[in-house]
Amino acid sequence: MVDLKSQYQKIKSEINNSISEVIESAAFINGSKVKEFQRNLESYLKVKHVIPCGNGTDALQAALMALNLKSGDEVITADFTFIATVEVVALLGLKLKFVDVNPETFNLDVSQIEKAITPDTKAIVPVHLFGQAADMDVIMKIAEKYNLYVIEDTAQAIGADYTLNNRETKKLGTIGTVGCTSFFPSKNLGAFGDGGALYTNDDKLAEKIRQITNHGSKVKYFHDEVGVNSRLDSIQAAILNVKLKYLDNYISARQKAAEYYDKAFKPHPNIIIPVRDEKSTHVFHQYTIKVQEIDRDGLKEFLNKNKIPAMIYYPYPLHLQKAYKYLGYKENDFPVSEELSKVVLSLPMHTELTEEQLQFITEKVLEYADR
Ligand SMILES: *Cc1c(COP(=O)(O)O)cnc(C)c1O
């Protein structure tokens, strides 16, 4: 699905030098590279505070903790997302409220959010799935009306722009109360291991998040609250610092590959290409098609047999997962999410796709679709 080896080859000496600097300095934890990366990401995102942390899941957990969410508080999120988004909510003893998604954008169906709100609701967690924004204008409006926090899960959408109704363009993750992202190697800005970050324009919240990710401590060995240990290590920061410079190029490369796929599949009546939201750029963490009257699992198998990776994100809706049975949801509660899990297929998407590869992939998809 990704080609991290080829990507590395192109910037190998720059990356190796940056890693060497960390090793020579021996500042492995909270070294100057972490600070440098934090500042560079702040200016890239045009946000006041970036707080690096250990991974994207920790970022979501730290956000919920920093906002003082307590047992019994309710958190609304999409039923169609990666498990990390909901896991931390459950882990903190908060109550999960799923909402179905929009069949076109795969993101929160905003027309169903208000129905899920109760007096105990404290936050909405929109996930900008596959690299495109959830409907932030509407989500922010609902959040204001009911006085809710908005925690943006931007793990798949770093670098994407959103143009608000007031014509202001902002990076995803900087619109809500706090944004959370992941630097997992296959994400659009990937480290060589785990990494994550939170972003916010709120000074007080930023301070609280820093404290929480540092054992609840501002002054060493004095702990004002229960925290966690979640840091971005200096070697990962050194790598990310180099790769951040190329992020916009990486995004363009993904968008170009997506255009190639679009052109090939658009004429086909049974392949539905990803819909573009006019308010958001799409950074294509995944290129995900929907099929109709085509055996989706057969297509996946056929591609895999031809050495083309293809993945189902996500094969089973969250409200039906064994671990979340206790919430009491049942089949047909979220029909769109259930249907999507049966018809979506993600094709190889990364920064190094050649025209030759794209031609081969699209030919094989069409071959199966037409038989
Ligand atoms: C990857 C991902 C995460 C978690 O990130 P990790 O760094 O792997 O913990 C959270 N949410 C979404 C939507 C993701 O894709």
201 beta partners: none
52 beta partners: 197
| Domain match, 16 and 54 both | yes
Q: What is the pLDDT along the chain (371 residues), one digit of tens a residue?
A: 899 999 999 999 999 999 999 999 999 999 999 999 999 999 999 999 999 999 999 999 999 999 999 999 999 999 999 999 999 999 999 999 999 999 999 999 999 999 999 999 999 999 999 999 999 999 999 999 999 999 999 999 999 999 999 999 999 999 999 999 999 999 999 999 999 999 999 999 999 999 999 999 999 999 999 999 999 999 999 999 999 999 999 999 999 999 999 999 999 999 999 999 999 999 999 999 999 999 999 999 999 999 999 999 999 999 999 999 999 999 999 999 999 999 999 999 999 999 999 999 999 999 999 98
- Give the SS3 label for residue 194: coil
86, 184, 230, 231: residue to mutate for ligand 1 pocket, most atoms within 8 A of CB: 184
Q: What is the CATH number of the domain that holds 289?
A: 3.90.1150.10
Ligand 1, residue 127: give the atom nearest the CA.
13
User: What is the Cα gyration radius of the chain?
Assistant: 21
- Give the SS3 label for residue 81: coil
Question: 249 CA to middle of ligand 1, Å?
Answer: 22
State residue 1's pLDDT score.
86
Q: Is 181 in the pocket of ligand 1 (CB under 6 A)?
A: no
Q: How far apart are CA 287 and CA 261, in angstroms?
A: 8
Q: How far apart are CA 313 and CA 301, in angstroms?
A: 15
Question: 156 CA to middle of ligand 1, Å?
Answer: 7
| Domain match, 236 and 279 both | no
Q: What is the CATH number of the domain that holds 12?
A: 3.40.640.10
* Domain boundary, last residue among 203, 227, 244: 244
| Domain match, 87 and 46 both | yes
Q: Is 156 in the pocket of ligand 1 (CB under 6 A)?
A: yes
| Domain match, 76 and 199 both | yes
Q: How far is CA 290 from its chain centroid? A: 20
- Domain boundaries, position 201: 4-100+107-244
Verify cis geometry, omega within 30 degrees of 0, for the bond prior to 314. yes
Domain total for the chain?
A: 2
* Upper half-sphere CA count for residue 13 (Cβ side, 13 Å): 0
Tell me, what amino acid is at 28? Answer: F
| Domain match, 252 and 239 both | no
Which two structure tokens, joined as six digits, stand for 62?
Answer: 């730290």
| Domain match, 281 and 179 both | no
| Domain match, 239 and 282 both | no
Answer yes or no: are the C-beta atoms of 323 and 277 closer than 8 Å.
no
